[in-house]
Amino acid sequence: MEPYTTLISDDTICAISTPHGTGGIAVIRISGPDTIDIVSHVWHGKPLATATSHTAHLGNIIDGSGEVVDQAVATVFRGPHSFTGEDVVELSVHGSPYIQQRVLSILTQHGARIAEAGEFTRRAFSNGRIDLIQAEGIADVIASRTAASHRLAMSQMRGGFSSRIKLLHDRLLEMASLLELELDFSEEDVEFASRETLISLAEEILACVTKLADSFDKGRVIKEGIPVTITGETNAGKSTLLNSLLGEDKAIVSDIHGTTRDSIEDTVNIGGHLFRFIDTAGLRDTEDPIESIGISRAMDNIAKASIVIWMVDSTSTLSSAIASWSRIAPRLQDQTDLVIFINKSDINAEASGLQKELTDIIAPSSDVHWVIGSARSESDITTLQDTLSEIAAATASPEGEITVTNLRHYQSLTAASRAIRQAIRALRDNIPGDLVAQDIRETLYHLSTLTGTITTPDLLSNIFANFCIGK
Ligand SMILES: Nc1nc2c(ncn2[C@@H]2O[C@H](COP(=O)(O)OP(=O)(O)O)[C@@H](O)[C@H]2O)c(=O)[nH]1
Ligand SMILES: [Mg+2]
């Protein structure tokens, strides 16, 4: 697979790669054919032109008049064994914004250009150091907020997903060549691979592609947060619970029924899993048109959730709990985990008695998790958090399994699976080999767009524009 090579200019770029502002040190990265030359003009110390790759050197950075701007460390990476594949120098300077800007401006005076967002990574891609999936993995690693999303992004950056696609690519090429042999010798009526063999090969490929595409739902949840919908009757304490989980007063809490009319959501990291909590309007009959919309949103959010927390007010009547349940139950999906939080135990000593009564009503569903306590109590919130972590851990993908987290990847995989399905149909219907080969080529095309072997400038600009400057 040849990397995409046009479009990148052969000039030398520079940027601050550390975050904006003041820090202990800041790193200024320079990459391109004239890197060593440009840096040498501002460098007083061991000559960088003769420095071997992957070595660090102490020296001074000087401006045009010979004034020392800072003492710095220059780390030299020689192409092609650098991140970008070009000559790279990383200058570690003291982290004052003034020094950072001064050094950048001196470098540009000597011919370097300020890099665009993601341009270092884009060069790494163009020079074949990484493929597009890995480039996107780097962005995800930088953006990762939890252990789970970090693990997925790391695996993607290091090429786990890419090598799986490469494997599928090779198998498809194998299939295509078998078909082409068949075409070359079609006059002589020899079969190089039986249709049966080709079908089973194609089915194997389809199974792999499908498995990857199917992991997307899980992957998206890891990246965007596991959706947890908090539902129940009005005044059950849903908004109180949301606020306790978030550790801030996000939703309005009041004893006025129907206070929360819209869905309010936010994400929190609990035990290495990202959860997206959605507080919803309380379930009741209402004449208020706005509240009605809120309730229908709440219903949608129950259906869309991975986990539903049903808040039950233990001081309220059993019949009102039953009424809530009759609204919730039809919306619950088979795979949804249900947590029943019996609330306000602080003002109702009988709260735990409700568990048995409710069990009889919602039986026989076995995987219900119970929390009996108060949405205001720190230790009860901890119990709930532990329950949520356990649920997330139980549904997380096993170590080493590839999980697709990116919509672009998912779309390419779906397109590839459509094309390979078409090939299987054609093989079964004994359609001539050249037509089958066309479907195989289409499948190959979609896998190639995934890794970036085939790409367009627009797509690349789109992907790299989301990177930060200096990456
Ligand atoms: N005593 C007690 N009151 C609570 C508890 N949770 C919520 N409340 C109160 O119940 C009322 C309704 O709470 P809110 O969170 O707005 O309920 P929502 O309508 O379900 O969102 C408010 O006055 C809360 O302060 C609890 O655990 N114990
Ligand atoms: Mg509320």
- Of the candidates 184, 167, 210, the one whose C-alpha atom is nearest the C-alpha of residue 437 is 184
What is the rounded radius of gyration, in angstroms, for the C-alpha atoms of the chain? 29
Extract the tokens encoding 374.
């108060």
Q: 278 in helix, strand or coil?
A: strand
**pLDDT over 80 (residue 185):** no
- Hey, which of 241, 252, 253 would you mutate to test ligand 1's pocket, going by the most ligand atoms within 8 Å of its Cβ? 253
Which atom belonging to ligand 1 lies closest to the Cα atom of 252?
16
Question: Which residue, judged by its Cα, is nearest atom 13 of ligand 1?
Answer: 237
Ligand nearest to the CA of 253: 1
Percent of all residues in the chain with a pLDDT value above 70, rounded to a whole number: 94
Extract the tokens encoding 456.
């367009």
Q: Is 374 annotated as a binding residue?
A: yes
274 vs 321: CA distance, rounded Å: 30
What single DSSP character describes residue 41? Answer: H
Question: Which residue, judged by its Cα, is nearest atom 7 of ligand 1?
Answer: 237
HSE-CB at 348 with a 13 A cutoff on CA atoms is 18
**pLDDT over 90 (residue 181):** no
Q: Is 255 annotated as a binding residue?
A: yes
- Of the candidates 225, 228, 320, the one whose C-alpha atom is nearest the C-alpha of residue 280 is 228
Q: Name residues contacting ligand 1 (CB within 6 A).
A: 234-240, 253-255, 259-260, 282, 311, 343-344, 346-347, 374-376
Please report the pLDDT score of residue 271 as a whole number. Answer: 83
Please give the helix or strand (H or E) that residue 139 lies within, else none.
Answer: helix 132-143
- Of the candidates 326, 313, 340, the one whose C-alpha atom is nearest the C-alpha of residue 240 is 313
**pLDDT over 80 (residue 418):** yes
Q: Answer whether the bond into residue 364 is a cis peptide, omega within 30°.
A: yes
Q: Domain 224-395 classified CATH 3.40.50.300?
A: yes
Please report the pLDDT score of residue 11 as a whole number. Answer: 94
Question: Which residue, judged by its Cα, is nearest atom 14 of ligand 1?
Answer: 237
Please report the pLDDT score of residue 260 as a whole number. Answer: 87
**pLDDT over 70 (residue 342):** yes
List the single range of 235-244, 281-290, 327-336, 461-470 with lowest mean pLDDT.
Answer: 461-470
Distance 222 CA to ligand 2 centre (A): 27
Distance 360 CA to ligand 1 centre (A): 26
450 vs 453: CA distance, rounded Å: 8
Please give the helix or strand (H or E) that residue 320 lies within, else none.
Answer: helix 318-328
pLDDT digits 0-9 by tens, 365-380: 557 899 999 999 999 9
Handedness of CA 176, 177, 179, 184 (dihedral sign): positive
Q: Is 376 annotated as a binding residue?
A: yes
- Crossing angle between the packed helical segments 216-224 and 195-214, to the nearest 10 degrees: 20
Pick the CATH number of 13-131 from 3.30.70.100, 3.40.309.10, 2.40.50.100, 3.30.1360.120: 3.30.1360.120
Task: Identify the band that residue 122 occupies on the pLDDT scale cut at 50, 70 and 90.
Answer: very high
Distance 218 CA to ligand 2 centre (A): 29
Q: Is 158 annotated as a binding residue?
A: no
- Residue span(s) of the chain under CATH 3.40.50.300 come to 224-395
Q: Rounded to two decimals, what is the model's pTM?
A: 0.76
Task: Identify the band that residue 395 occupies on the pLDDT scale cut at 50, 70 and 90.
Answer: confident
Ligand nearest to the CA of 371: 1
Beta-bridge partners for 26 = 93
Which atom belonging to ligand 1 lies closest to the Cα atom of 373?
27
Question: CB neighbours of 40 closer than 8 A, spacing ≥ 6?
Answer: 47, 48, 49
Taking residues 281-286, what's their average pLDDT? 90
List the single range of 128-132, 183-187, 224-228 with lowest mean pLDDT.
Answer: 183-187
Taking residues 443-462, what's their average pLDDT? 91
Q: Answer whether the bond into residue 432 is a cis peptide, omega within 30°.
A: no
- Residue span(s) of the chain under CATH 3.30.1360.120 come to 13-131
CB atoms within 10 A of CB 65: 5
Please report the pLDDT score of residue 422 as a whole number. Answer: 96
Task: Identify the band that residue 24 occupies on the pLDDT scale cut at 50, 70 and 90.
Answer: very high
- Residue span(s) of the chain under CATH 1.20.120.430 come to 137-215+404-451
- Of the candidates 310, 365, 366, the one whose C-alpha atom is nearest the C-alpha of residue 342 is 310
Question: Which residue, judged by its Cα, is nearest atom 6 of ligand 1?
Answer: 237
Angle at 218 between CA 213 and CA 221, to 5 degrees: 130
373 vs 294: CA distance, rounded Å: 27
Which atom belonging to ligand 1 lies closest to the Cα atom of 240?
15
Please report the pLDDT score of residue 367 as a whole number. Answer: 75
CATH number for region 137-215+404-451: 1.20.120.430
Please report the pLDDT score of residue 365 as a whole number. Answer: 59
Taking residues 159-168, what's their average pLDDT? 93
Q: Is 171 annotated as a binding residue?
A: no
Distance 438 CA to ligand 2 centre (A): 57
**Burial class of residue 116 in the structure, from the number of CB atoms within 10 Å of its CB (0-12 exposed, 13-18 middle, 19+ buried):** middle
- Crossing angle between the packed helical segments 132-143 and 147-157, to the nearest 10 degrees: 160
Which atom belonging to ligand 1 lies closest to the Cα atom of 343?
27
- Hey, which of 229, 231, 233, 235 would you mutate to test ligand 1's pocket, going by the most ligand atoms within 8 Å of its Cβ? 235
Q: Is 250 annotated as a binding residue?
A: no
Which atom belonging to ligand 1 lies closest to the Cα atom of 241?
15
Max alpha carbon distance in the chain (Å)?
89
Distance 324 CA to ligand 2 centre (A): 15
Ligand nearest to the CA of 311: 1
